[in-house]
Amino acid sequence: MLVLGIESSCDETGIALYDTEKGLLGHTLHSQIELHSFYGGVVPELASRDHIKYIIPLIDQLLKDSSITIDSIDSIAYTAGPGLSGALLVGCSLAEALAYALNVPSIPVHHLEGHLLAPMLEEDKPSFPFLALLVSGGHTQLIDVKEIGQYEILGDTLDDAAGEAFDKTAKLLGLGYPGGAALSELAEKGITEFELPRPLLNTHGLNFSFSGLKTAVLTLVKKQTKLTNTIKENIAFAFQESITDVLVKKSIKALKQTGYNKIVVSGGVGANKRLREKLRFHSKNENFKVYFPKLEFCTDNGAMIALAGALRAHLSSKNNYKFSVQPRWKLSEIESTF
């Protein structure tokens, strides 16, 4: 089965072709980061307009590059939520219209399910069940992934998401938006000079809280008479050490709680080198295996949506070509919605 995947939930237009026999045939992406960076965050109306501008040319280009004709597509998977409603509607209406025109099924996909399953795009893929650490701009969750569509949230953030904390700290240090990757690069040059809190490290079960950490960075920044490059590097270093320590410690706790020996890390913050390094180090000592998607599949992309669509094609009963999206959609309610 050949699945066309369409991602348009936020500021990335992602398109991919996934074949259930051959795997990923190709993918392409247009990022709107430059468009929104001037405003310091995503402007929903601009995001929708940009998706409209790029979505069809990207599909055309991918089909051409993969030497595939549009009528060989067997089904169309698209992100139906959560995300920005206007942006989601662009992907949804195109996917539904195309599915109608080609007379093939459409498969609405939960964006976070896409992230969760992204490590399955790799050759060495995890098998169900496994633990997932989902760390993105909007989410920080530890999830018991029992089977496709069966997700139990074991831990969640009580306030800011990990990516949000990276972005807010990056902003305090004068890095652009979204600054997660830039902050991480800066941290690589830093050394131990400052100590920042590790919120909820030993309390609140598997839940997280990162807003206090951001406030601690703000206090530290205000205390400096001059924010030199070296100080910035050392603050970035301290921040990254704190946040990755908490993410790793809670992940190991969740592995012990579930009895699983496999953890999948996904979402934009999953691209963080230090997080990867620490998890790999502990996986050797504590005897578990850690799976990461390729860096390009950590952040939003069409490949994870095409894959999720392929894996849940047999579950999806929707074939009514209706334009309906779910801007707010809990992963635990995935089966009851469409």
Which stretches of the chain bind ligand KG4, using CB under 6 A? 136-138, 163, 166-167, 178, 180-181, 184, 267-269, 271-272, 299-300
Q: What is the dihedral of CA 308, 313, 317, 323, to 10 degrees?
A: 50
Nearer of residues 75 and 234 to ligand KG4, judged by Cβ:
234
Regarding 300 and contact with Zn ion (CB under 5 A), the answer is yes
Nearer of residues 47 and 73 to ligand KG4, judged by Cβ:
47
- Minimum CB separation of residue 80 from ligand KG4 in Å reads 15
112 CB-near residues (< 8 Å, 6+ apart)? 82, 134, 136, 139, 141, 331
Regarding 241 and contact with Zn ion (CB under 5 A), the answer is no
Task: Return the residues of window 41-80 that contact Zn ion according to CB under 5 A.
Answer: none
- Minimum CB separation of residue 323 from ligand KG4 in Å reads 22
Helix (H) or strand (E) holding 132: strand 130-135
Residue of closest CB approach to Zn ion: 300
CA-nearest of 88, 120, 168, 138 to 268 is 138
Peptide bond into 108 cis (omega under 30): no
Buried b / exposed e along 243-265 (16+ C-beta atoms within 10 A):
bbbbbbbbbbbbbeebebebbbb
Nearer of residues 179 and 199 to ligand KG4, judged by Cβ:
179
Regarding 136 and contact with Zn ion (CB under 5 A), the answer is yes
Helix (H, G, I), strand (E, B) or coil at 261: coil
Nearer of residues 82 and 105 to ligand KG4, judged by Cβ:
82
CA-nearest of 301, 304, 218 to 30 is 301
Please state, in angstroms and as integers, the Cα–Cα distance from residue 205 to each residue in 142, 202, 234, 257, 291, following that order: 11, 8, 30, 10, 23
Nearer of residues 55 and 135 to ligand KG4, judged by Cβ:
135
Which of Zn ion, ligand KG4, none binds 166 (CB below 5-8 Å, type-dependent)? Answer: ligand KG4
Which of Zn ion, ligand KG4, none binds 138 (CB below 5-8 Å, type-dependent)? Answer: ligand KG4
Helix (H, G, I), strand (E, B) or coil at 4: strand
**First and final C-alpha spacing in the chain:** 22
- Minimum CB separation of residue 317 from ligand KG4 in Å reads 27
Nearer of residues 251 and 272 to ligand KG4, judged by Cβ:
272
Regarding 233 and contact with Zn ion (CB under 5 A), the answer is no
Residues 14-33, one symbol each (x = binds Zn ion by CB under 5 A, - = not), give: --------------------
* DSSP category for residue 203: S
- Minimum CB separation of residue 259 from Zn ion in Å reads 29
Regarding 266 and contact with Zn ion (CB under 5 A), the answer is no
Structure token digits, residue 237? 């270093």
With tokens 């050394």, the residue in question is: 191
Nearer of residues 166 and 338 to ligand KG4, judged by Cβ:
166
Q: Cα(163)–Cα(198) distance, rounded to whole angstroms?
A: 16
- Minimum CB separation of residue 132 from ligand KG4 in Å reads 13
